[in-house]
Amino acid sequence: MKGAIRLNGMKFAGKHGVRPEEKTLYQPFEVDVEIECDLTAPSQTDRLEDTIDYSRAADIVQSVVSGEHCDLLEKLAGRILDRFGEIVTEGRVTVRVRKPRAPLSVTFEYIEVELCREFTP
């Protein structure tokens, strides 16, 4: 049974961006993760061992966003995807990273980057 697990609107502080102040001052980031996978087993067994642990997924995102600096949102999203290989053995993972306070001279809601990766056994 194909399905998806989504963690939407996670909010973190990090130091990411090209400008000098973005490398030293914390700023807000928002992240969505969607994991498309086979949910047959957990829908029948009701066992955490048979699915993706949401807590572990959120911890991965938090550790990457609060960790080592990235100039680009693309790099940050890529690092998150790389780490999801620790908990996803098969399926498609989509990561969206938003930066609501990017230093631009125009009014905007947020800047967003989306990356996807297929994981195969």
What pTM did the predictor assign?
A: 0.92
Model pLDDT, residue 36? 97
Question: Cα–chain-centroid distance for residue 39?
Answer: 20
Catalytic residue among 2, 15, 75, 99: 99
Give the containing element (helix H, strand E) for 78.
helix 73-84
Two structure tokens written together for 71: 């100039």
Q: For the segment 20-43, what is each residue's pLDDT rounded down to a tens digit?
A: 998 999 999 999 999 999 999 999
- Among candidates 81, 87, 94, 77, which has minimal Cα distance to 36? 94
Our answer to whether residue 99 is catalytic in this structure is yes
- Sequence-distant (≥ 6) Cβ neighbours of residue 86 within 8 angstroms: 60
Using CA atoms, how far apart are residues 81 and 90, in angstroms rounded to an integer?
13
Residues 55-96 pLDDT 10s: 999 999 999 999 999 999 999 999 999 999 999 999 999 999
Q: Which H/E stretch holds residue 96?
A: strand 91-99
